[in-house]
Structure formats: structure tokens, C-alpha cells
Amino acid sequence: MPTRTIKRTKFKLSSEQLLDMFYWLKLSRAFDERLSVLVRQGKVRSGVYTGIGQEAIIVGTCFALRKEDYICPLHRDLGSFLMKGVEPRTMMAQMFAKTTGLSKGRDSALHSGVDELGIFGNTSMLGANLPVACGLALTFKMERSDNVVVAYFGEGASNVGDFHEALNFAGVQHLPIVFVCENNLYAYSVPVEKSMAIDDVAIRAESYGFDGVAINGNDVLAVYQSTQGALARARNGDGPTLIECKTYRWHGHSEHDKAFYRTDEELAMWKSRDPIPIFTSYLQARGVLADDKLQEIEARVKSTIDEAVQFAMDSPDPHPEEAATDLYA
Ligand SMILES: Cc1ncc(C[n+]2csc(CCOP(=O)(O)OP(=O)(O)O)c2C)c(N)n1
């Protein structure tokens, strides 16, 4: 069954905005890469699920969000916290479970949210964030605001009941929500062909009365373009959209997974589709990214990450007696 045709959304980005996008891609990659090293050094206490290889999805979807819009990130979406306004040092302290982190050392990044920045913390149960995201979108609708919720999920999560209930509810209620599927071809060790009998998660939207589109999730501008269309429809009261971003995660499910269930050839093929060099070439061909600018951005990224790690390492551990503070009943 074909998905409905979604009109191409026109967009224009200035050179500054394109460079900004590039910075976020590089920062997200560097953050995850450094975390991966820190895990191996035994310095990070949190479970680490990197989004290396998938950065274009987060950057393309978060780029033009308002502060008031909500995101419901997944375990691999640390970059979305940064783009929504969490300081890299705070995010790093969170991964180190230090008092200066988002939850003052109480949990890993996976479950933290920041209300003032429009970040809703995830749950461990896959797909369970989606009905909650619909609740947020329903609030926006009831308040008659034109804010939007962007809810992320993996292709694995699209096979659980919560996903279908959420999409059904969103379709019936015309909720201002954008469902973003990060289809990285594996749900832990399960390849997509063993968990789904269809090629595109996107066609599932059709059953619930709204548009779904499957796009190249490694092309940041394609992701941005689709998101712009989806956001405009949502803000205009035209309901939800499902954007399925085809991508690949380079590391294992988490840093403790060596991913023996896939081949080196497959990984090499997807590394050749790395979203960052693709975007770099585009910027260079357009004359937007001169060599000195590239070096400047890379230096800025490195110093930001270095500073964040130093801050996290220097920050105090939580005291046991603090575990019983910040509770509510
Ligand atoms: C309902 C539920 N079933 C199983 C798990 C265990 N689990 C955690 S992550 C994961 C794989 C997730 O795959 P996907 O949804 O495709 O997202 P990805 O990790 O690939 O980004 C599994 C099976 C879980 N957390 N919740």
C-alpha cells in the first residue's frame, strides 16, 4: 500500500543556519564518541546508548523547534538534549551521575527531562513514551496553543501495542504531534526483517488517518525538510505526521554490546553513508564551509567536550542522604 504523497516543503536556510546545523552534527557525534571512550575507561556510570551514525535525524528534527515545543527523546538521542538547550557540561555530569547533572546523580540520561526546555524524560518500556507524548499534544490542543510535540521511537518500538494506540489516538484527535521513527534496522540484535513483515514503518500512519513518509535519515536537509512540513501542519491544526528516517547505528545497541549479529560489510556500507561527510561536502560545494571555518568549528566542538568532561569529573558525587530529597507525593 503506497503512503500518501506529502508535498515537498520549500525551505531556505542562511549560511549561518547551515553552519549551525553542521556544528550540532559535529557536537552530537563528538559527545557520543567521547562517552564511548569514557565507558571503556570505566569513568561513566550510566548506560550509554550512542546515536553515532544517526545524528542527522536529531539535528534535522530539532533544528527549528521552539523552546515551548516538546520533544520526547529516545535512549540514543543525547544530541536532542543539547539542541533543546541543556548545557554540554550538565549533560556530561548527568552521564557521570554527578550532583551537577540533570537529576543530581539519580539516574542515567535515559529518563531525565527538563520541563522548562520542553524535554520529556523517557521510560524504559519501549513505545510507552508515545501515549504520553500524545497526552502532551492533547494539552497543547486544549490550550489552543500552536506548540508541537516531537516524539521519537525505534522501528522495534513500532511493533508494540502502545505505538498503535498512540497513533490511533493522535489520528482521531488530530493532535499536533510529529512521530519520528529512527529506523536503524536493528532492535537490539533483532534485524528489522525478523520483526516486521513490511518495508516501511511509515505506511502504518495510513491506518490511523494521517500521512507517513519514509526518508533518508542520513540526509540532514531531507530530515529538516520533512520536519518543516510536519511542524507546519501540526501548528495549523492539521494533525500528526509520521516521518520514518532510514538510518543505521554504528555501535552496538549499547556500549556493552559488541554487535556480533551483523557483518563488517554491512557496517562499512553504512559508514560510507555517514551523514557528516555528506553534509560537509554539500557545504563545501556551496562555498559555505571554508577550511578555516571547518577548523574553527572542530576546535570549538573539542573544547566544549573537553570542558564538559572536566566539569563532570570535578563535580561532587551525590550524598546518600540526598536520595530522599526532591521527592513528591
Ligand atoms: C516493551 C519493551 N520490550 C523490550 C525492551 C528491551 N529493549 C530495550 S531497547 C530494545 C531495542 C529497541 O529497538 P528500537 O525500538 O528499534 O530502538 P533502537 O534501540 O534501535 O534505537 C529492547 C528490545 C524494553 N525496554 N521495552
Q: Amino acid identity of 143?
A: E
Q: How confident is the model at residue 2 (pLDDT cuts 50, 70, 90)?
A: very low
- pLDDT (tens digit, 9 = 90+) per residue, 72-125? 999 999 999 999 999 999 999 999 999 999 999 988 777 889 999 999 998 889
Rounded distance, CA 81 to CA 218, Å?
19
- 3-state class (DSSP) for residue 176: coil
Three-state secondary-structure class, residue 102: coil
Q: Each residue of 207-223: pLDDT tens digit?
A: 999 999 999 999 999 99
- Residue 198 reports pLDDT greater than 70: yes
128 lines ligand 1 (CB under 6 A): no
Grid coordinates representing 120 are 520529556
pLDDT of 228 > 50? The answer is yes
Q: Is the CB of 52 under 6 A from ligand 1?
A: no
Q: Which atom of ligand 1 is nearest to the CA of 155?
A: 16
Alpha helix stretches (DSSP H) within the chain: 15-40, 55-62, 78-83, 88-95, 129-142, 161-173, 204-207, 220-235, 264-271, 275-285, 291-314
Tell me how far CA of residue 310 lies from CA of 30, 86, 96, 246, in angstroms: 15, 17, 11, 35
Q: Is the CB–ligand 1 distance for residue 160 below 6 Å?
A: yes
Measured between alpha carbons, how far is 260 from 248 in angstroms, rounded to an integer? Answer: 15
Q: What is the pLDDT of residue 1?
A: 46
Tens-place pLDDT, residues 275-327: 999 999 999 999 999 999 999 999 999 999 999 999 999 999 999 998 888 88
Residue 157 CB less than 6 A away from ligand 1: yes
